Structure 1
C-alpha cells in the first residue's frame, strides 16, 4: 500500500494514498479501534448535508471564495450520493462529541475539493478542513444537528411507511375476520366471545396510535442545534447564520427543520431524542404483544391453539419434516427486545449531559438509528410475509366456541351469578356441554337458553 504524509496540530502521519481522509481520521483509526460497528452512512450523509448548507451560506455572504465553496458543495454531494462511502472507516466508539467523525467528513470533503480544483491531497490548499469546510461550525453543534437530520430522514423514508403498511394489512384482517366469532381469553383462560376481527382491531389500533406518537415526537426532532458552535453561544459564526444554514438544510432535505429555541440545551442535552426513542420503545412493546399473540394463536397444528394458519414461507426445522414455524413473529420479537434495550441505553446516555455538552452522542446516534432501521425492516417483513397471508381456521375456532364454558356469562343476568357458576363447574367436572347442565338444572328451558346463549349476540352490548 502506498502512503502520503498528512499533518495536523499533533504532527505528521502516514495516510493511505488512495483515501481522502486525513491525519485526524488516521489517528482515530488507531486510537478508537473498538468493536465492529462503523458510523452509519446516514449520519455521514447528514453531516455532509450540513457542510453543503454551510458552503452555500458562505458563498452567498462572500465569506469563502466561490471556487472553494463550489468545490465543497460538489464533494459534499458525492458523499450524500454514497459515492465516497469507502472513505469513512471510523467506529461508533470514539470521543463523546463525535469530533473524529466530524473531522473525517471535513477531511474527505477538503481533499476531494482540493482534487476537484487540481491541487494535491494532504496540502490543505486551497481547501482547509477546518478553516473552510468546518467554517462557522463546531462538532458540538454539527453532530446533534446531524443526528436530528438522520432521524427525520430515516423516519420519513423507512419507519413510517413500514408502520403504515402494517396498519393497512391489519385493517384488512379486521374486515376479513369481522364475522368470525371466537373464544376470548383473559389470564390465558377461556373468557366471553368476541370476533377475530375485534381482536385484530385492537392490534390495528395499537399500531395506529404508535404512528401518531412517532409523528408527534418528530416535530421536536425538526428543531436543530446548528449555529450554537462550541457551547451554544455561536462563537466564530456570524449573526443570523443559524437561520440561514437551517434554511439551506430545509431546502436540501425537504423536511421542515427550524432553529432550536435554546442552543445550550440542544448541545448539553438530547431530550428530544430520548423522547423520540420513547415512542420507538412503545412501538416495540406494542409489536411484542401483537407478534406474540399471532404466533400463539397459530401454534399447533394439532397440539396448540391453532386458530390462525400461518403462511409457510420456509421449512421450519432441519430435523422435523413438514414443520412450519412462526419465524416472522420470532424475528419481530427479537427486534423488539433490541429496541427496548437501545432505549435504555439512550435514556442513560441522555442523562449524562454534563455542563455544556453531552458526551454520549455517538452512542445515542447509533442506538436510535439502529432502532429505526430494525423496526422499519421487521415491520415491513412482518406485514408482507406474515399478516398479509394469515388465515383463520374456522373449524377449530367453532369447536372451541361450542365447548366454551364462559358462554355461561350470558345466563348470569337471568339465573344469577352463583347458579351460573354451578352450571359451568358441573359441565367441566362431568365433561358435558354447558347446555346439558343448564337444562338439567331446571333454571332455564331450551327455548330461552338458545335465545340467550347466542355467541353472535355476545360480542356487543345488549
Structure 2
C-alpha cells in the first residue's frame, strides 16, 4: 500500500524507486517520471485520443471480467471510472507531452494510472493503493502498449472521422451544390493559365467543387476501412502472450459495440502491430483532400479579388475588418485560413510517412507522433471545412453583370469559330481584335467570314457555356 507522507502527497513506488505524488492527482509515478522527462512542447494528448484509449480500457475490463481474468468488482470500478472520463471528468489528468517515450508507453501508463486510482476511490480505497487495483496487473491485464496504442490510433481516427470530418464534408458538399443551383444561369469567362478562356457557368464551377469533395470523401471512406482491423490481443509482440484464448475476439466485439463501428480482429496480429500502413493510407487521403481544398480556397480568393482592381465576380461574406490601417477593407480570411490549415496537414502527412518507416523488428516506436498528427489532421480539416462552409460558402453572392461582361469581352470566344472559319483565320481575328479594339463579331463580319445569322448562333454564350451531357452506355452502343 502507498504510504502517506503528509496531507498533500502520497508515496508511490515503481521498479526504479519511490516518488512523492500530489494527493489531488489521479496519475501516478510513471506519469510523473514522463512529465519530468518530456518537457518538450507543452502539447498534451488530444481529447479524441484519450477517448480512444479509455474506450479500449473499458472494453478490456468488460472482456477480462467475463473471461474470469479480473474480478467483477475491479472490472466495475474500472468501467465506472472510464465512463466518468468519457463524460468529461478528470480530463486534466492526462498530462504527458505528445513527444514522449517511444511507442507511447508514457501516455499508456498515464491512462492506466488514472483509471486505477479513480477505480480505487469508487471502491472505497485510497489513491495509490495498488495492491487492491494495480495499473499494470488489472487495468492493463492482457495488454501491452504495443497493441493498445496502434489500436487507439485506429479508434481515435475513426472517432474523429465520424464526429468531425465526414459531417463537415457532407455539409460542404450540400452548400456547394446549393450555390451551384443558385448560380447556374450566370455565364462567366473561363480562365486557363490565368488567361482568358471559353465561357463557363458560375454554377458549374461550384458543382465541380462539390464533386471534387464528394470524390475525396469516398476516398477517405475507403482508406478508413483499414482502421477497422485491430491488432488488439497481440500483447507485447503479436503472439498474444498473457491473454485469454477468447480475449482477442471478445474484446474487439465489445469495443465495436462501444463506438458503434464494425471492427474485426486482424488476421495476423504481429503484422497489425508492426505496420503503420493504415495510418499512412488515411493520411495520404487527407493530404489529397487538403491539396484540392487549397486550390478551391485560392479560386475563391481570385474570384473575389478587388473590389476595384480584381475580378470581383463574387463576394465572399466579410466576417471581420481586414486591416489595421486601411478603413473599409475586408479580406477573404476564411479562405486564407483554409490554405494555412491544409499546409499544416501536408506537413503532418510527411512526418507520418517518415515515422511509419522508422520501426524496427516487432515494434514501431514512433507511434506517439503518428497518433497526434493523424487525429489532429482529421480534426483540424473537419473544423476548417465547417468554418469555410458556414462563414463563407453559404453566404457567397455573385455579380452576374460583371461575370457576363468578362465573358463577352474575352478573346477566347474565337475558339467557337474554329470549326467554321478554321484555326488560322480565327487566330488572325483574335490578333486583330486585340490590336484594334474591334469586337470579334465586327471583324468576322467585315471580312465576310460568316453570315450575321450564323455568327450570332455560334457566339451564343448561353449555348457555349452549356456542359454537354454524358452519353450513357446504351447511347454509345
TM-score when scaled to structure 1?
Answer: 0.98
Which digits, 9 at most, give the CA deviation of each residue in 1:10-46, with x for residues without a partner? 1100111100111100111101111121111221221
Aligned to 1:337: 343
Partner of 2:301: 295
Matches within 5 A, 1:180-191: 180-191=186-197
Q: Report if the CA contact (8 A) 2:67-2:247 is conserved.
A: no
On the 8 A contact 2:63/2:251 being kept in 1, the answer is yes
Q: Distance in 2 between matches of 1:216 and 1:402?
A: 44
Q: Which residue number corresponds to residue 250 of structure 1?
A: 256
Aligned to 1:308: 314
1:80 pairs with 2:86? yes
Q: Which of 156, 162, 167 lines up with 1:156 in the alignment?
A: 162
Decide whether the 8 Å contact of 1:99 with 1:139 is kept in 2.
Answer: yes
Unaligned runs of 5+ in 1: none
1:105 to 102, 111, 117: 111
Counterpart residue number, 1:373: 379
> Contact 1:114–1:125 (CA<8 Å) still a contact in 2?
no
Q: Is the 8 A contact 1:423 1:441 kept in 2?
A: no
Deviations 1:89-112 (A, max 9, x none): 110011121001111111111111
The correspondence of residues 60-71 of structure 1 with structure 2, limited to 5 A, is: 60-71=66-77
Aligned length: 462
Is 2:60 aligned against 1:54? yes
CA displacement at 1:240 relative to structure 2: 2.3
Instruction: Give the drift of 1:446.
Output: 2.1
Taking the aligned partners of 1:357 and 1:312, their CA distance within structure 2 comes to 50
**Whole-angstrom CA distance in 2 between matches of 1:41 and 1:443:** 70
**Cα distance in structure 1, aligned partners of 2:198 and 2:47:** 52
Q: 2-side partners of 1:260 and 1:62: how far apart?
A: 24
Candidates 214, 221, 226, aligned match of 1:215? 221
Query: 1:398 aligns to what?
Result: 404
SS in 2 for 1:294: helix
- Following superposition, the deviation at residue 461 of structure 1 comes to 4.6
C-alpha RMSD of matched pairs (Å): 1.2
Once the two structures are superposed, the pairs formed by residues 53-452 of structure 1 within 5 Å of their partners are 53-452=59-458
TM-score (norm 2): 0.95
**Alignment deviations for residues 344-379 of structure 1 (CA, whole Å, 9 cap, x no partner):** 111111111211101110000110111111111110
Distance 2:75 2:149 in 1: 21
Q: Return the offset for 1:432.
A: 2.0
Work out the CA distance in 2 between the residues paired with 1:440 and 1:103: 85
